[in-house]
Amino acid sequence: MATRTIVEAPVVERRKRLDETYIGEWLMTTDHKKIGVMYMLTGFFFFLAGGVEALLIRTQLAVPNGHVLSPEVYNQVFTMHGTTMIFLFVMPTLTGFGNFVVPLMIGARDMAFPRLNAFGYWMVLFAGIFLSSSFLLGQAPNGGWFNYAPLSELTSNCGNAVMCTPALNEDFWLLGILLLGISSIAGSLNFVVTILKMRAPGMTINRMPLFTWMTLITAFLLLFAIPSLTAASVLELLDRHLGAHFYQFAAGGDPLLWQHLFWSFGHPEVYILILPAFGMISEVLPVFSRKPIFGYTFIAWSGVAIGFLSFTVWAHHMFAVGLPPIAQAFFATSTTLIAIPTAVKIFNWIATIALGKVSLKVPMLFACGFIAMFLIGGLDGAALAVVPFDYQVTDTYFVVSHLHYVLFGGTVFGIFAGFYYWFPKMSGKLMNERLGQIQFWLMLIGINLTFFSMHILGLLGMPRRVYTYPDNLGWNEINLLQTVGAFMLGLAIMVFFWNLITSLRSGLPAGDDPWDAYTLEWDTSSPPVHYNFLTIPTVRSRRPFYDMKNPDIADWKTATH
């Protein structure tokens, strides 16, 4: 009789490949969701860095004749505050949202070029590290975030630019910006191709969710605007290191050329920073008002109008340099024109909320805060378009107030609205409502304490970027008030990170669709599976997920779009 012996199957022991380990999986991923999360984490890290820089500035300015920082370090800190917040916080974070949400929203399995997507992310990370590493050498950029040529260039008779500003400060800025530009181009062409070519069947252009619309417009703006910045930076580097004379008046160059090139990037850039936030608000408001968005077509196409107009307004940053009157008239007109499509959006959002069954969850709070704060910032912008008024307040704290109302009150509120809205999808957990409300009210009070009083300070004539001020100009109380407000904002951000960490560890499970939402990203598990959808959905209206949940009253049965 044959005996049967049972042999243990040999266990194949082999080391895991790098991409099978937890860390390696993140390092080597080309999954749009993981890349999106990494973009956001990187953005939030630099948000903290930029925030610390802001608090340093406010501490320095809290009382007259302050000496918290040295004048040299102060210049570096305000330059890096602007640069970090714009290029390393807002842009990567918005790209992160786009990466995570857009393919899910349009029913795709990934971006069109996943590896290019990963390349773009790593480029941002290393450019950010490169830019920030300048602090280690004590040579952080110090020419302001728009790095005007005379500040970074030959001033009188030093022969060439490097001899005049020999330190590496500006080189860090220029090279860092070039790297970030490459990343932005890679990211934006990826968005354009993804959105134009990879939408789910049935999702026509006029059925795309509005966040996708705004991301598409932003991507086009980046494609067309970044080249100006690239060209300007290359010319500056040539001036500094190869002895060219682009920005040197004595040799036939012109420092104004830098301003033209920079702002013909810089003004589309401000819409690059705000349009995705417009998109997020347009997703959040209808869901929490239990209504479809009011005036979808107007919101979408006013975004396109803003995109076009944004290329025609750059010289309103330069009214004080002495352009010919006809040019000033042109740029003042085009700037005022841009208020029209922006106002169209604001009225649409208000009409969306009106008569809806509003539920004031935290994303909705931030969305409402966005409308109010952005409106103030927008009105400031319309005021600054008036040339004589601009002469009066240019380069004062009035301008600082304007840009913080639109970027902090606008974009950052939008980012938080979007983050609280999509966090359950990203993590499968809910954020804590109570902490979110505390953060919202702290931020709303903090922002108005800090930035509203800057209007008055600007009208009283305090220039921006000054190191300190004497105590007999009537600026003392307002400055102190702003410092208090800034620390309130810092506290609010601490509450946010506390909320984020505790919710990740022990938040309530969110389920797939915690907000009873309308768009496709909620029609998958939370967090979404690697391949996003088991089968790619077919879209028949602007609210495809709503249709699936309510087949009897589906939009496509009534609406004509």
The reply on whether position 110 binds other proteins by CB under 8 A is yes
| d(C-alpha 324, C-alpha 341), whole Å | 28
Vertex 462, ends 461 and 467: CA angle to 5°? 155
| d(C-alpha 212, C-alpha 519), whole Å | 11
The reply on whether position 49 binds other proteins by CB under 8 A is no
The reply on whether position 261 binds other proteins by CB under 8 A is yes
Closest CA to 90 of 289, 271, 283, 252: 271
CB of 242 to other proteins, least distance (A): 6
The reply on whether position 327 binds other proteins by CB under 8 A is no
Question: Do 168 and 176 meet the contact criterion of CB atoms below 8 Å apart?
Answer: no
Question: Do 17 and 70 meet the contact criterion of CB atoms below 8 Å apart?
Answer: no
Near other proteins by CB under 8 A, which window of 50-58, 238-246, 367-375, 481-489?
A: 238-246
The reply on whether position 234 binds other proteins by CB under 8 A is yes
**Cβ-based nearer residue to other proteins, 70 or 525:** 525
Could you confirm whether 271 is annotated as catalytic? yes
The reply on whether position 224 binds other proteins by CB under 8 A is yes
Could you confirm whether 282 is annotated as catalytic? yes
Binding map of other proteins across residues 370-409, x = CB under 8 A, - = no contact: ----------------------------------------
**What residues pair up with 509 in beta bridges, in sequence order?**
429
Question: Do 58 and 483 meet the contact criterion of CB atoms below 8 Å apart?
Answer: yes
CB of 85 to other proteins, least distance (A): 25
The reply on whether position 324 binds other proteins by CB under 8 A is no
The reply on whether position 321 binds other proteins by CB under 8 A is no
DSSP letter assigned to residue 406:
I
CB of 219 to other proteins, least distance (A): 9
Q: How many C-beta neighbours within 10 Å does residue 8 have?
A: 5
The reply on whether position 351 binds other proteins by CB under 8 A is no
**Cβ-based nearer residue to other proteins, 87 or 421:** 87
| d(C-alpha 348, C-alpha 29), whole Å | 39
Per CB under 8 A, the list member of 251, 321, 340, 501 interacting with other proteins is 251
Question: Do 453 and 400 meet the contact criterion of CB atoms below 8 Å apart?
Answer: no
The reply on whether position 235 binds other proteins by CB under 8 A is yes
Per CB under 8 A, the list member of 337, 536, 548, 559 interacting with other proteins is 536
Closest CA to 288 of 525, 31, 515: 515
Q: How many C-beta neighbours within 10 Å does residue 66 have?
A: 16
**Cβ-based nearer residue to other proteins, 218 or 289:** 218
Q: Of 83, 84, 165, 183, which is the active-site residue?
A: 183
Q: Of 34, 267, 429, 455, which is the active-site residue?
A: 267
The reply on whether position 538 binds other proteins by CB under 8 A is yes
Could you confirm whether 390 is annotated as catalytic? no
DSSP letter assigned to residue 254:
-
Could you confirm whether 70 is annotated as catalytic? no
Question: Do 302 and 372 meet the contact criterion of CB atoms below 8 Å apart?
Answer: no
3-state secondary structure of 396: strand
CB of 555 to other proteins, least distance (A): 21
Cis peptide before 527 (omega within 30 of 0): yes
The reply on whether position 108 binds other proteins by CB under 8 A is yes
Q: Of 132, 194, 342, 352, which is the active-site residue?
A: 342
Near other proteins by CB under 8 A, which window of 204-212, 225-233, 315-323, 452-460?
A: 225-233
Q: Of 39, 74, 145, 258, which is the active-site residue?
A: 145
CB of 333 to other proteins, least distance (A): 22
Per CB under 8 A, the list member of 254, 433, 512, 513 interacting with other proteins is 254
Q: Of 245, 316, 404, 425, which is the active-site residue?
A: 316
| d(C-alpha 456, C-alpha 336), whole Å | 23
CA distances from 380 to 167, 452, 461 (A): 37, 11, 16
Per CB under 8 A, the list member of 33, 58, 81, 245 interacting with other proteins is 245
Vertex 334, ends 254 and 300: CA angle to 5°? 120
* Sign for the pseudo-dihedral over CA of 372, 373, 374, 377: positive
The reply on whether position 548 binds other proteins by CB under 8 A is no
Per CB under 8 A, the list member of 137, 231, 354, 466 interacting with other proteins is 231
Tokens of 548: 């699936």
Per CB under 8 A, the list member of 166, 243, 474, 509 interacting with other proteins is 243
Could you say which residues in the range 140-199 bind other proteins, by CB under 8 A? 185, 188-190, 192-193, 196-199
Closest CA to 537 of 524, 556, 555: 524
Could you confirm whether 183 is annotated as catalytic? yes
Tokens of 511: 């389920």
Could you confirm whether 345 is annotated as catalytic? yes
**Cβ-based nearer residue to other proteins, 257 or 504:** 257
Q: Of 31, 53, 110, 555, which is the active-site residue?
A: 110
3-state secondary structure of 463: strand
Rounded to the nearest 10 degrees, the angle between the axes of helix 114-132 and helix 91-105 is 170
Would you put residue 395 in left (φ > 0), alpha (ψ -120 to 50) or beta? left
Closest CA to 18 of 31, 29, 10, 30: 29
The reply on whether position 112 binds other proteins by CB under 8 A is yes
**Cβ-based nearer residue to other proteins, 10 or 324:** 324
Which positions are catalytic? 81, 110, 145, 183-184, 267, 269, 271, 282, 316-317, 342, 345, 464
List of residues contacting other proteins (CB under 8 A): 108-110, 112-113, 116, 185, 188-190, 192-193, 196-201, 223-224, 226-228, 230-232, 234-235, 238-239, 242-246, 251-254, 257, 260-261, 264, 535-536, 538
